[in-house]
Structures are given as C-alpha cells and as structure tokens.
Amino acid sequence: MTTTPSSVHYLSTLSFPDRWLDELRRRHPGLAVTQIHAESPADIPDEVWRRTEILHTGAVVPRSGADVPRLRWIQLDTSGADHLKGTSAWDLPVPLTSIGGISPVPMAEYVMMMLLGLAHRLPQTVEIQRGGVWPSLAERWNTLMPRRLRGATVGIVGYGRIGREIGRLAGQFGMTVLGLKRGRGTRSGEFFGSAAAEDTDAELYTPDELHAFMARCDYLVVTCPLTDQTRGMIDAAALGALKDGAMVVNVSRGGIVDEAALRAALRSGRVAGAALDVFDEEPLPEGHFWWTEPSVLITPHVAGFAPDYEEQTLELVSANVGRFLAGHELLNLVDRTHGY
C-alpha cells in the first residue's frame, strides 16, 4: 500500500504499477494516492474507506454508504456498469464514470477478425486440423468455400463508439452497415476518445424496429450494454427474424443473447455460425456445450483487451481527476436511468 499525504484521497482497488501511480501523483500534486489490490470490500481497511473521496475500482465497492462518508465519485475500470446494480455503489448519490473509449479500436478489430473467420470457415478449418487428415477436393469445396463480406450486410446492435468503429472497418470491406441504437439522437455529456469513433453511412434503426433490422442481416454483431431493456433482447423470435444462414458475433455481455435460442438456431441451420466472447455464466464451465458446439468460435471475454490500456487509462483518469478538482463535469458519466 502506497500513499501520498495531501487533501483529496484517491483509492485504487486495482493493480497499476508504481510508475502509473507516480505519474498520477506528478500530474495532480493535490491528490493523496492509495492503492490496495482488493478482491472484496473486506480487503480495504475501514480507515481507508472512511477517508476515500475518489474510488477507482472494477467491482469492489463499499458494503454501505456509511463506510464511505467522504466518497464523492466512483471511476469504474469497466465499460459497462450493469455489475453494480444492486450494490451500494449504484444507490450512492455520487457520480459513476466508466472506462468507455479505451477499447473501441481493439474490439472492432476483434469483431472483424471474427467476421473474417466465420466467413472463411475457421471453425471447420480448426476441426480439420485437429483431425489430422487432409480432406478431398470435394470435401474442401463443400465445407470450406468462403462466404462473401463485400456486398453483405452487417447489423450492429449498439451503435455507440464501439459500434461506429466496427461500422467504419466493415465499410472498408465493402459491407453495408446497419446500426441499431436506443435513440437516433446522442446522449448528453462528454466522453473519452469520442473523436476516434467517427460516424459512418450506417442506416439506423431503433429497438422497436428490431425484427425489420434482423431481417436484413447477413452478419449480426451484438455490442450494446446490458440493461433492463436489452436483457434477453436477442431471443428466439429475434433470431427467427434473421436471414437464413446469418452469422452472429457477441462481444457485449452475457444475458443479451438467449443462449438456448442461439444454440437451437445453430442446430437448425437458421444461424450458420457464431463467435462468442461473453456468456451467461463466466468463467464458462468445463464441459459446457459452447466449448464443442460446431461452427462456433469461443474466446474467454477478451474482445475489449487494449494493448495500450495503462496509458489510455492514465489519460482518462488524469483528465477526470483534473475535472473533479476543478469542479467540472466528468467524462464518461454513467446514466443510472439508462443503466450505462
């Protein structure tokens, strides 16, 4: 545990290196920086909770508001905030800010990797490699013939910063881009890295147009936040509205796509393939059907990993600390009404 005596107390429950913490101190001499890598609230001494004014955390939050009488702001180390619903942090009268804006580029690259992998029959290719037998020309022709991306339509559920970056890359491959978002307007407030996610020529839909949107999709990408409105959104009826043989990529949260319905759609051929990075149950248990489901690519919730995470996080946190100390509105404010 390292601390610098000063007037405003910042607590990180994460594990940033000393150079990161030292740079934050250098940029903000009026900040008392404490870091305690914690897995539960009990890992933080009571006296540290009592003096904390800025909490930087993933999921470790105080057990009650009484434990943090001086708390004035919570900076999350996650893009989503759904994991805090039902905790003290959700109900405390302090602003929540997310880490959104750090992962759009690597996440969009991940999605394009999966779209290319599905289109070029990567799950089937991996099975052939594991089998260790060279297939005949007829087997290769019938099994490994790629599907086109150029001229195909990709529908992106959740057309925010990440969705727009996916749309930009998909457009470079000659795909038609559809975006589905809660409203055709934009949320109020300022966001970190928003300039990096440029608008594209996507045709926009709203959630009440979901089935019409799905009917046009050759490829479906799910990247919206998990909220009361999006939970179970991609259900059997929605999957049934997809084009026959569409492919699905999910990089959002478990709970948005009905996994049983998706498996049934895969088994029936309604959905021809899927790439899944998020699941209802994480870690995905050993022996779970997704590990071996044909025509499915599985990754362990890594789509949002950013190679320059520490540098970008420092820029975001430092900018927000500066705004906080100056009494200005923070970046990436979570709207508790909407859930993200």
Confidence of residue 76 (pLDDT cuts 50, 70, 90): very high
Q: Please compute the mean of the pLDDT values over residues 155-161 and round it to a whole number.
A: 95
Q: Is the pLDDT of residue 4 over 50?
A: no
> Which sequence positions are flagged as catalytic?
253, 282, 301
**Which pLDDT does position 214 carry in this prediction?**
98
Q: Is the entire prediction scored with pTM above 0.85?
A: yes
| Contact partners, residue 188, CB within 8 Å, separation at least 6 | none
Q: State residue 191's pLDDT score.
A: 75
Homologous superfamily assigned to 104-298: NAD(P)-binding Rossmann-like Domain (3.40.50.720)
Reported as a pLDDT band with limits 50, 70 and 90, residue 200 is low
Residue range(s) occupied by CATH 3.40.50.720 in the chain: 8-102+306-326, 104-298
Phi and psi at residue 68, to the nearest 5°: -130, 65
pLDDT at 5 over 80: no
3-state DSSP helix/strand/coil % of the chain, to nearest 5: 35, 15, 50
| Fold held by 8-102+306-326 | Rossmann fold (3.40.50)
The proportion of the chain whose per-residue pLDDT surpasses 90, expressed as a percent, equals: 89
Its sign, for the CA torsion 113, 114, 118, 119, is: negative
* Chain segment 15-73, per-residue pLDDT in tens: 999 999 999 999 999 999 999 999 999 999 999 999 999 999 999 999 999 999 999 99
Rounded to an integer, what distance in angstroms lies between the CA atom of residue 106 and that of residue 101? 11
